[in-house]
Amino acid sequence: MTKFYTFVNQKGGVGKTTSTINLGAYLAMHGKKVLLIDNDPQANATSCLGITKNDVKKGIYETLLGQIEISKTILYNPKVKLSLVPSSPALAGAEVELISLPEREYRLANAINSLEGQFDYVLIDCPPSLSILTVNGLLAAKDGIIIPVQCEYLALEGLGQLMQTINRIKAALYPSLVIRGVLLTMYDSRTNLANDVVENIKQYFGDKVFTTIIPRSVRLAEAPSYGYPISIHAPHSTGAIAYHDLAKELLKQDGFYENDIQWV
């Protein structure tokens, strides 16, 4: 059964796209068929995998408008063993164009139904805003949402606003929407503030918080400029080790992981 997870946080710079790509890469390295859906007009996930976003002719924008089936937009990168539904700057126009379309909030959820059984994981990267595109991403999160949270004070404030949005979506559109996990990112153990944020998040979300914490890492920041995930760019770095641990944690929780699994 395919697991559909959406990465969401209306605050930018929290490691959302970084987490989507690098978690996906390590899931793929464990032999899982992984599809990333870049649902962000900035198309950072697309660029981070070495694709020029301005050259994208068939992607999530065309799918949301009903111009093409999502399966016909999928690209495959054999080096990182990841599939991708790319984004492009044209997606910014979807904010307006979707308003007049039927079931505008469910366009992505309806589109991904055809992917069931074709992949082990479908990971959806959303824009850093609470827009119609983000709502589409939330309603497509069949198995839950993953919330990356930067270990800084302002991230806590933004998290409150996000929770209000999630509760409104649950009440009005998708009662079964759940939080799959909260991922702490950009952690700096040298600061008391980071440790305080970790404790506050754990007190509020309890066992929803992933055990794995992603540290601040120069290697993670520079990897996108090379068009590769951290698993290829700097596989022995602290960031790489953390995302590998996160992948194993998720696989175990989802019942996929085996101790003797072979990397591919």
Chain segment 31-78, per-residue pLDDT in tens: 999 999 999 999 999 999 989 988 999 999 999 999 999 999 999 999
Has residue 264 got a pLDDT over 50? no
| Count of CA atoms in the C-beta half-sphere (13 A) of 141 | 30
CA–CA distance, 148 with 165 (Å, rounded to integer): 16
CA–CA distance, 78 with 111 (Å, rounded to integer): 24
CA–CA distance, 201 with 183 (Å, rounded to integer): 10
Q: At which residue do the structure tokens 């069931």 appear?
A: 116
187 CB neighbour count, 10 Å cutoff = 20
What's the whole-number average pLDDT of the chain?
92
Q: Nearest-CA neighbor of 229 among 32, 40, 48?
A: 48
CA–CA distance, 129 with 121 (Å, rounded to integer): 24
Query: Is domain 3-253 given the CATH code 3.40.50.300 in the classification?
Result: yes
Percent of the chain with pLDDT over 70: 97
Percent of the chain with pLDDT over 90: 73
Q: Where are the domains of the chain?
A: 3-253
Question: By the 8 A CB rule, do 68 and 58 touch?
Answer: yes
Question: By the 8 A CB rule, do 90 and 61 touch?
Answer: yes
Chain segment 139-149, per-residue pLDDT in tens: 999 999 999 99
pTM of the model as a whole? 0.94
